[in-house]
């Protein structure tokens, strides 16, 4: 039996291109048929590389990658200060988590989340999951996250419902006016501007 040796490390420039390839591939696999095709198509490896390079200069963001024999197979991006409408002092945001499909169910997603908590020094994470992504919802419940009961919609040509999760059983405070003004994930915002 061939056993994988997975390392989770902060991203460095030598892995930017591999991470961008994983980001583009997983974005397409996840969103194909669920969001407008022009937004799916906008996250090319080249565009994801631009996002990765820009994120390297964002002091609010931490990007970690999962490596198997020095090949990027997944990544997570965390924000030390969450985007609105999250109004929870001391919380951080798990902004994205992607693992190549071939490596699902091997504990890599959990490793990335746990390493992310350590990297930002905060285990009070909040996150948003697209309502159509039932696999991610099941994963987050499995590793101890709970729905807060709050949802919001993002306008991506068609409205997509997003579900809020936190590892704590207390609800995150969200007001109606804040929901309308929540910035989309940076990749989505940049993709919309590129179209």
Instruction: State the Cα–Cα distance between residues 191 and 134, nearest whole angstrom.
Output: 24
- pLDDT the model gives residue 88: 82
Instruction: State the Cα–Cα distance between residues 123 and 66, nearest whole angstrom.
Output: 19
State pLDDT tens for residues 69-88: 999 999 999 999 998 888 78
State pLDDT tens for residues 7-47: 999 999 999 999 999 999 999 999 999 988 999 999 999 99
Tokens of 44: 């090319």
Q: What is the pTM assigned to this prediction?
A: 0.84
- pLDDT the model gives residue 86: 81
Percent helix, strand, coil in the chain (nearest 5)? 40, 30, 35
State pLDDT tens for residues 52-70: 999 999 999 999 999 999 9
Query: Collapsing DSSP states into helix, strand and coil, what is residue 164?
Result: strand
Residue 146: half-sphere exposure toward Cβ, Cα within 13 Å: 9
Check pLDDT > 60 for residue 176.
Answer: no
* pLDDT grade for 108, boundaries at 50, 70 and 90: very high
Strands of 61-68's sheet in order across: 6-10, 61-68, 71-79, 92-99, 125-130, 159-166, 146-155
Check pLDDT > 80 for residue 190.
Answer: no
Calculate mean pLDDT across residues 109-128. 95
Instruction: State the Cα–Cα distance between residues 16 and 176, nearest whole angstrom.
Output: 38
Check pLDDT > 50 for residue 170.
Answer: no
DSSP-derived pairing of the beta strands 146-155 and 125-130: unpaired
Taken in order of first residue, the domains within the chain and their CATH numbers are 6-194 (3.40.630.30)
């Amino acid at each position: 039996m061939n056993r994988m040796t997975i390392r989770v490390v902060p991203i460095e420039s030598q892995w930017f291109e591999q991470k961008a390839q994983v980001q583009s591939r997983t974005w397409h696999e996840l969103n194909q048929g669920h969001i407008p095709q022009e937004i799916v198509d906008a996250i090319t490896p080249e565009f994801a590389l631009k996002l990765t390079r820009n994120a390297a200069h964002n002091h609010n963001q931490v990007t970690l990658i999962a490596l198997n024999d020095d090949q990027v197979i997944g990544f997570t991006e965390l924000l030390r200060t969450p985007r609105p409408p999250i109004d929870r002092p001391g919380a951080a945001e798990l902004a994205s988590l992607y693992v190549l499909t071939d490596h699902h169910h091997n504990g890599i997603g959990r490793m990335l989340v746990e390493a992310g908590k350590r990297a930002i020094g905060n285990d009070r994470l909040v996150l948003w999951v697209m309502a159509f992504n039932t696999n991610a919802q099941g994963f987050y419940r499995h590793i101890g996250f709970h729905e807060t009961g709050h949802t919001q919609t993002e306008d991506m040509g068609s409205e997509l419902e997003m579900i809020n999760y936190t590892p704590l059983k207390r609800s995150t405070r969200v007001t109606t006016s804040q929901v309308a003004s929540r910035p989309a994930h940076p990749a989505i915002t940049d993709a919309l501007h590129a179209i």
